[in-house]
Structure 1
Amino acid sequence: MPRVAPGQRKLRRVKCDETKPSCHACISTGRKCDGYTPNVEAPPDLPLSRPLSLEFLGTQSERRSFYFFQQKTAPQLSSFFGDDVWERLILQAALHEYSIRHAILALGSLHAKFEQDNGLIKQNYTNEYADKFALENYGQAINMLVTSLSEQGRPAIDVCLICCILFACLETMRSSYGSAITHVQSGMKILSEVKYDEKTRCYQHDVLVASKLPYVSIEVLKEMFMRVDHRVTQMVSGENWETPDSEQQYVPKPETSAIFSTLSNVSASLVTQWQMSSYSITDTGNPPGRGVPAALDIDPWQKKSRSILARWSSAYDVYLNIRGDNLTNEKRKGTAGLRILKELGSVATMLTQPIVDDETSWDVFCPIFQNVVSLAEDIVELDSEVSAERSPFCINMAVVGPLFQIACRCRDPIIRRRAIAILRTCGRIEGTWNAFSASQVAQRILDIEETGLQNVRSCMDVPSWARISNASPVFDPLERKATLTYSQARTKHGLTRRTMVDVIEW
């Protein structure tokens, strides 16, 4: 029996010279390089753009921005969870989709400028980029997406969602948080409109196409948006925020695994199930993070969330027992970040609110708040040890959102000031959270509550009438200021409260 099929030649094996992304030995002879993980082919039911060479034969600026994104931006967007989405799948999508490619070029260019300026890059206050190359590619990415909708037929769901995430990252890096949130909302709206047909085992959308072979699966994209949504809804609130109606519109997934294989699995499991439990309780008013419902209404959510947290904690402990001794600094930061989520999650499941606006109900959680602040200090310290050149920008939440919540709700003067001090000095930007901006709002809340009080040595020294509630900051996308809306007692020792608005500038 012949070892080579008739009519075919046997290619001589060529040793891979390990040049990335494809070895020169293979390229020069027209061979397919087998030395690396094969690229995912573009979906057959979509009109393909001209394939992009792995060597990325564009202009010098394009090559520089693309490789910066590949080497610096993608790993940082993955953060300490090591998401394969950023470091492989989205890069592969850029080889075929012009909209994603131009978004990557814009983000890579802007991120390079961001690092060059030590994280202080700002758009000019005339609402224009300092980076013209980034602006041009950002505009081209949007135009390509719109063109595919109007001329080339319906674009794919995954392509639109990937672009929403990339656009949100762009706007976040240029400190335009309002626009970043708008892009996240657009993605969440698309997800809320996606339906899964169990009979055909296909996704459906009224306008967009669900590819049979998406670059990134709808389930993974849903988890990505859930993570971002988890951050955004701590910073803003809005009546028109789109959320998935239930888990049934996606492929049914099993409950929390008894053992996690990666830290990314640990994170995705907690955040996704936590968010979905909030969305699926339809008879409880607003879930935590979107306003605290009345005491009687919170019980169904608490019951379900306690069960989720208990199952997740058991699996998380098993993961640490197996891998805890071999964790890198990045993974150690990841585990610390997840412990922060676990601690604050336990607060949410235990919190009862028998009296409306009773801010003293937070006092019992001071030990937990202290643990969270210590974990945040560990993360910031590990960050400083990794590299002095590392940009403080990432899409995943670690410390900024939790520290801001503690600075607002913990009235212990020492814990509170430690939280604000970390925010003021760490220089981190996590998703739509800017640590320094958050510190300015937190400091104003502290000043409002402690004005006129003498010798504040513990949370008991801040009386109920002095405490503010329902604090809701809106950060200006163009200027260094925020508008803080909150409630406070009308008079000293008064029971009725009034809504106040304060503009904070720095």
Structure 2
Amino acid sequence: MSSVRLRHVKCGEEKPGCSQCARSGRKCDGYTDASQNQLHHALVKAAPRQGWSPRPDRNIVLVPGTREERHYVQFFCTQTAHALSGFFPSDFWNQFLPQLSHRNPAVRHAVAAVGALHQCQLQGRLISPSTPRSTENHEFILQQYNKAIRQFLQQMGNPADMKIDMMLIQCVLFICLEMLNGNTKQAMDHVQGGLQILSRQLQDQQIAAQRSFDRDLFQFFYRQNIQLSYFGRRLMPFMDTASKDFPVLPPNENVFFDNIDQARDCLTSLTTRGLSFIRAVQERTWRVPRGQVSEQQLDQQSALLAELKAWFSAFEAMQKKSARTIGILDPRAPLSLLCQYYAAVTWLRSCTFLDERNFDRFYPNFEKIVSAGERVVQASAQDEPNLSTEHFFLDADVLPVLYWAIMHCRHPILRRRALTALENYPAREGLWERRTHVAVARRYIELEETAVAHLPVEQRLVAERNLIYDAAILPEMEAPLNPCPVLFRLKPDGPDAPWDERWENLSW
């Protein structure tokens, strides 16, 4: 029995009838004369009214804006959104925000500006104080930024249209712009503004994240709260007002995570509460004369450490499942959580002692941090073979931990491994300008090892009087400075003696 293949004849689209259809004997109605304007009105009339929540859209959408705006909105949707979501892809970045940019003018202009700036970053053409500005591109970015602000202010004039999620979304996009531009102060101001909006809502309404994109949005600000603390601003005390988003882990019961997002959010909660405790203890132990840690604080420390132990047990159990089942799409995601976990445990255990020598007891933890960090760097290099191109991640998951490890790990080989990982990590994370922090970390090691610099590296054990307790980069910078003012703080005459503060200008 022979098979029959049907050959489809393509219409030539000539008016009023095409030659292809005439030869084949088919009736051809030709091409409609309906204009694009009529088509647009027909689509708009037929399209249902859109809500804020993301939904499958089966209607043809004519993307608004100029050709240049559409180009950078598309660039944002296809490349920038993926980069900003980092190791943990989310519905907020990959679905909700791209959809919202097509129907909200304030979001669209901000997205176009972020997309244009991200493209500059990938091409190594980021605006900096030491290089001339690319006039055409800079003017477009600035124009879109100003349009976004004007549209946003107009929307704020109508309380019915300006809900908390829209205010926070616009805030997130402004944060992206300032972080990409290296404007630390402006970025922190936007973060703090968003945190204040969220804090007021949590206090007034006791709201919690019900939808997936709400959760992503709220958790972003919870993580940025930690970053503000690293750069000298006070933590917002969310744990007092948002118990649903900051649960306490029961240490004597089994804890389970269904996916890696749950593990990440829980670790954010623990890190926030742990860092709040560390800052409170440091206010006592770092003053002169030194204050004492209270019994209540010691009990709080034990409780937090028990919660971290419960978190780690649940995390290990979760990792026994398949990566797809628990939502691990990037192998760097669990590695970044391990870095953060071991840093949190080590810092929390050591914070009640002013003596920096106390960190020497935790070399195994530093080994875990550095090993995980090295694997992240290796995976990042494989992800982007062209090492001249630097990634940009909105969240700071790895750089702060490697930098912190270099500050407090005095094992001469181990801390140099951490420095090498920091140098080779092809990424910028949030407010962390890698070249600046590499320069500070290298100088930190040089200062501590001045008296033993003549010895082989493996024998360079730092004397107590040369230990540096802290290195503070000049805060509230409008843009990265080169050279950069840095304050090093020492206690050469012992933990109970006054501070010795030394300013240096470091070049990078």
> By the TM > 0.5 criterion, same fold?
yes
Q: Is contact 2:466–2:490 with CA below 8 Å preserved after alignment?
A: yes
Q: 2:263: which partner in 1?
A: 266
Q: Is contact 1:158–1:215 with CA below 8 Å preserved after alignment?
A: no
Amino acid across the alignment from 2:362: F
Q: TM-score w.r.t. structure 1 length?
A: 0.77
Q: Deviations over 1:102-154 (max 9, x none)?
A: 1111101111121122xx52335599675321111112112222333346778
Say which of 365, 369, 388 aligns to 1:368. Answer: 365
Q: Is contact 2:258–2:326 with CA below 8 Å preserved after alignment?
A: no
Q: 1:41: which partner in 2?
A: 51
The reply on whether 1:173 has 2:151 as its aligned counterpart is no
For structure 1, the 5+ residue unaligned runs are: 1-25, 44-51, 204-211
Q: 2:30: which partner in 1?
A: none
Q: Deviations over 1:397-416 (max 9, x none)?
A: 23211111111111111111
RMSD: 3.9
**Whole-Å separation in 2 of the counterparts to 1:435 and 1:282:** 25
Say which of 479, 484, 487 aligns to 1:482. Answer: 484
The reply on whether 1:133 has 2:137 as its aligned counterpart is no
The reply on whether 1:87 has 2:94 as its aligned counterpart is yes
The reply on whether 1:463 has 2:463 as its aligned counterpart is yes
The reply on whether 1:244 has 2:237 as its aligned counterpart is yes
**Whole-Å separation in 1 of the counterparts to 2:49 and 2:278:** 42
Deviation at 1:308, TM superposition (A): 2.1
Q: Is contact 2:106–2:151 with CA below 8 Å preserved after alignment?
A: yes
Q: 2:34: which partner in 1?
A: none
Q: 2:29: which partner in 1?
A: none
Q: Is contact 1:188–1:244 with CA below 8 Å preserved after alignment?
A: no
Q: Is contact 1:413–1:459 with CA below 8 Å preserved after alignment?
A: yes
Helix, strand or coil for the counterpart of 1:433?
A: coil
Compared CA separation, residues 180 and 293, structure 1 to 2 (3 A): farther
Amino acid across the alignment from 1:172: M
Q: TM-score w.r.t. structure 2 length?
A: 0.77
**Whole-Å separation in 2 of the counterparts to 1:487 and 1:317:** 38
The reply on whether 1:110 has 2:117 as its aligned counterpart is yes
**Whole-Å separation in 2 of the counterparts to 1:293 and 1:160:** 42
Q: 1:5: which partner in 2?
A: none
Deviation at 1:378, TM superposition (A): 0.6
- Which moves more between the two structures, 85-94 or 461-470? 85-94
Amino acid across the alignment from 1:498: D
**Whole-Å separation in 2 of the counterparts to 1:155 and 1:84:** 21
- Give the fraction of aligned pairs with identical amino acids, expressed as a percent: 22
Deviation at 1:482, TM superposition (A): 2.5
Say which of 483, 504, 507 aligns to 1:505. Answer: 507
**Whole-Å separation in 1 of the counterparts to 2:365 and 2:174:** 36
Say which of 189, 193, 199 aligns to 2:200. Answer: 193
Say which of 122, 128, 146 aligns to 1:123. Answer: 128
Compared CA separation, residues 127 and 152, structure 1 to 2 (3 A): farther
Q: 1:101: which partner in 2?
A: 108
Q: Deviations over 1:6-41 (max 9, x none)?
A: xxxxxxxxxxxxxxxxxxxx999959999xxx9971
Compared CA separation, residues 41 and 286, structure 1 to 2 (3 A): farther
Helix, strand or coil for the counterpart of 2:87?
A: helix
Amino acid across the alignment from 1:180: A
**Whole-Å separation in 1 of the counterparts to 2:49 and 2:272:** 32
Q: Is contact 1:89–1:215 with CA below 8 Å preserved after alignment?
A: no
Deviation at 1:276, TM superposition (A): 4.2
For structure 2, the 5+ residue unaligned runs are: 1-38, 54-58
Helix, strand or coil for the counterpart of 2:410?
A: coil
Alignment of structure 1 residues 423-438 onto 2, 5 Å:
423-438=422-437
Deviation at 1:286, TM superposition (A): 5.8
Amino acid across the alignment from 1:388: P
Q: 2:342: which partner in 1?
A: 343
Helix, strand or coil for the counterpart of 1:461?
A: coil
**Whole-Å separation in 2 of the counterparts to 1:70 and 1:183:** 23
Deviation at 1:282, TM superposition (A): 11
**Whole-Å separation in 1 of the counterparts to 2:82 and 2:283:** 32
Amino acid across the alignment from 2:350: L
The reply on whether 1:227 has 2:223 as its aligned counterpart is yes
Compared CA separation, residues 277 and 344, structure 1 to 2 (3 A): closer
**Whole-Å separation in 1 of the counterparts to 2:77 and 2:457:** 50
Q: 1:17: which partner in 2?
A: none
Helix, strand or coil for the counterpart of 1:503?
A: strand
Q: Is contact 2:381–2:426 with CA below 8 Å preserved after alignment?
A: no
Helix, strand or coil for the counterpart of 1:260?
A: coil
Helix, strand or coil for the counterpart of 1:167?
A: helix
Q: Deviations over 1:229-252 (max 9, x none)?
A: 223422x113xx351353434656
**Whole-Å separation in 1 of the counterparts to 2:459 and 2:63:** 59
Q: Deviations over 1:267-308 (max 9, x none)?
A: 1121134314655x69945699x9999543742442232232
Helix, strand or coil for the counterpart of 2:196?
A: helix
Q: 1:15: which partner in 2?
A: none
- Which moves more between the two structures, 325-334 or 382-391? 325-334
**Whole-Å separation in 2 of the counterparts to 1:133 and 1:183:** 21
Amino acid across the alignment from 1:411: R
Alignment of structure 1 residues 130-169 onto 2, 5 Å:
131-150=138-157, 155-169=162-176
Deviation at 1:352, TM superposition (A): 4.9
- Which moves more between the two structures, 150-159 or 448-457? 150-159
**Whole-Å separation in 2 of the counterparts to 1:221 and 1:228:** 11
**Whole-Å separation in 2 of the counterparts to 1:244 and 1:29:** 51
Say which of 178, 182, 191 aligns to 2:189. Answer: 182
Compared CA separation, residues 409 and 294, structure 1 to 2 (3 A): farther
Q: How many residues align?
A: 450
Helix, strand or coil for the counterpart of 1:500?
A: strand
**Whole-Å separation in 1 of the counterparts to 2:451 and 2:437:** 24
Q: Deviations over 1:408-442 (max 9, x none)?
A: 11111111122222222323101111222210011
Q: Is contact 1:423–1:435 with CA below 8 Å preserved after alignment?
A: yes
**Whole-Å separation in 2 of the counterparts to 1:213 and 1:380:** 35
Amino acid across the alignment from 1:371: K
Say which of 58, 63, 79 aligns to 1:56. Answer: 63
**Whole-Å separation in 1 of the counterparts to 2:245 and 2:385:** 44
Compared CA separation, residues 442 and 74, structure 1 to 2 (3 A): same
